[in-house]
């Protein structure tokens, strides 16, 4: 009898069970097949195809320029590398804020054209109708509150959000509304740890923090930041696990030396 090694996929239900059991959720961004495959094999719970692709893949200053077609390209590449992780895709700026019908059409395109498992939208009460409509169509929605980079020109700065009571109260209210509208989880970005703790404890669905302290139900980082590919971005919340920029620079310089000195390829490296 052969014992089949079936992979147990992470679902939105798995994440809610993890919260209920006190098990933290790990999430990283990825934008292509090879990194997604590596992260999936390493055991990451959730892969976010973030619109941070606009920054780290395309070199834009903000997340605003990336298009729905470009997000679909990144997400379909990621999906081909994944067999276990839950894959969540950001709805990019301008393809859901207009109205809930437009939001649903954009979410459906992501699900149909990429094979991803869920979408993420930034905002609270303002986008509630869209969240409800997408959830009603059977598409899982992850929320995103606090620092929402698609609104950077409204905020004017990337500093910590919701320090003031009025903004903290709105965030508490928005988190409840998103949960009631059917969001299965939400990202809390760059808010005080105490507020993130309170919100996390008030919700049944998990919170995933980035710069929101240790009491969130999970954590997310942008892969280029945590792997040290991008070394210019050093916010206090970031833990850098590698210095790939240094290692890659060293490897490329080594290769250049080997080519120039005729050391590469050797007799064994040719046909
Ligand atoms: O686009 C992104 O990478 C994100 C994370 C920072 C949460 O939204």
Which pLDDT belongs to residue 231? Answer: 85
Ligand 1 centre to CA of 50 (Å) is 5
**pTM for this prediction:** 0.96
Per-residue pLDDT of the chain (271 residues; tens, 9 = 90+): 455 567 899 999 999 999 999 999 999 999 999 999 999 999 999 999 999 999 999 999 999 999 999 999 999 999 999 999 999 999 999 999 999 999 999 999 999 999 999 999 999 999 999 999 999 999 999 999 999 999 999 999 999 999 999 999 999 999 999 999 999 999 999 999 999 999 999 999 999 999 999 999 999 999 999 999 988 899 999 999 999 999 999 999 999 999 999 999 999 999 9
Which pLDDT belongs to residue 6? Answer: 77
Give all domains of the chain, ordered by start, each with its CATH number.
12-240 (3.20.20.60), 243-271 (no CATH)
Rounded CA-CA distance 129/182 in Å is 11
- Indicate which atom in ligand 1 lies nearest the CA of residue 52: 1
> What sections of 88-164 are H helices per DSSP?
100-114, 128-136, 152-155
Which pLDDT belongs to residue 5? Answer: 65
What tokens does 62 get? 């903000």
- Indicate which atom in ligand 1 lies nearest the CA of residue 149: 8
Report the pocket of ligand 1 as residue ranges, CB < 6 Å. 29, 48, 50-52, 90, 187, 189, 210, 220, 222
User: Which residue spans within the chain are E strands per DSSP?
Assistant: 25-29, 46-49, 86-90, 118-120, 141-146, 185-189, 207-210, 218-221
Rounded CA-CA distance 73/35 in Å is 15
Mutation test of ligand 1: which of 26, 55, 75, 189 has the most ligand atoms closer than 8 Å to its C-beta?
Answer: 189
Told to judge if 102 belongs to the known catalytic residues of this protein, a careful annotator would answer no
């Amino acid at each position: 009898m052969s014992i089949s090694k079936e992979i147990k996929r992470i679902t939105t239900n798995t994440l809610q069970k993890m919260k209920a059991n006190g098990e933290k959720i790990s999430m990283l961004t990825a934008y292509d097949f090879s990194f997604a495959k590596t992260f999936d094999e390493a055991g990451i719970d959730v892969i976010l195809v973030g619109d941070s692709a606009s920054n780290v893949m395309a070199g834009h200053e903000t997340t605003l320029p990336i298009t729905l077609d470009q997000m679909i390209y990144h997400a379909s590449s990621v999906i081909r590398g994944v067999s276990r992780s839950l894959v969540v895709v950001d709805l990019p700026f301008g393809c859901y804020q207009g109205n809930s019908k437009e939001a649903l059409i954009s979410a459906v395109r992501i699900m149909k054209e990429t094979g991803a498992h869920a979408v993420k939208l930034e905002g609270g009460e303002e986008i509630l109708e869209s969240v409800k409509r997408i959830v009603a169509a059977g598409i899982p929605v992850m929320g995103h509150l606090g620092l929402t980079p698609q609104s950077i020109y409204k905020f004017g700065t990337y500093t910590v959000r919701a320090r003031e009571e009025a903004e903290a109260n709105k965030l508490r209210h928005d988190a409840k509304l998103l949960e009631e509208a059917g969001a299965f989880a939400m990202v809390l970005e760059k808010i005080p740890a105490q507020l993130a703790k309170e919100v996390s404890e008030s919700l049944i669905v998990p919170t995933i923090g980035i710069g929101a302290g240790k009491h969130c139900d999970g954590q997310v980082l942008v892969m280029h930041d945590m792997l040290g590919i991008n070394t210019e971005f050093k916010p206090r919340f970031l833990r850098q696990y590698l210095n790939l920029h240094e290692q890659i620079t060293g490897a490329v310089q080594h290769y250049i030396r080997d080519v120039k000195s005729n050391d590469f390829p050797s007799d064994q490296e040719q046909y």
